[in-house]
Amino acid sequence: KNSVLEILTYGTDIPNRHEMLETEPLSRLLDEKWKRFGSKMFLLNFLGYVVYLVVFTAVAYNKKNGAPPFPIEDNWMDYLYVSGQGLITLANIYFFFIAIVEMKRKR
């Protein structure tokens, strides 16, 4: 069920897993996986997170004064503000579930 790389990566009970990853076959396999798959996934995740941070910063910087609930006026800035809040909410839910999956995987 589990691959050798997955066992070595997530297996915390293996005492010399770092030395095993430095052996020639596993090292070449890791390099090949990084070139074909990992670098593209890393770039996609990085760009998505940068977009999230830009939207989060813009929404936090343009916070309305006063007490909630804030009235939504009929202009494009308010619609953009509410859309940014919705995007941040969905992204936070996504990050929460991804963190739970990673914690379960590392057990």
Cβ neighbors of 10 (< 8 A, separation 6 or more) are 105, 106
Out of 23-27, 49-53, 75-79, which region has the weakest mean confidence (pLDDT)?
23-27
Instruction: Give the CA angle between residues 103, 95, 65 to the nearest 5°.
Output: 140
User: Mean per-residue pLDDT for 36-64?
Assistant: 93
Domain total for the chain?
Answer: 1
pLDDT at 8: 74
pLDDT tens-digit series, residues 87-106? 999 999 999 999 999 898 77
Contacts 24+ apart (CB under 8 A), 97-100: none
Structural domain harbouring 17? 4-105
Does the pTM exceed 0.75? no
User: Mean per-residue pLDDT for 22-27?
Assistant: 80
Cβ neighbors of 56 (< 8 A, separation 6 or more) are 88
User: Mean per-residue pLDDT for 38-65?
Assistant: 92
**Structure tokens, 82:** 């509410």
**Structure tokens, 103:** 């914690």
Task: Provide the Cα torsion 99, 107, 39, 42; round to 10°.
Answer: 10
Mean of the per-residue pLDDT values of the chain:
86
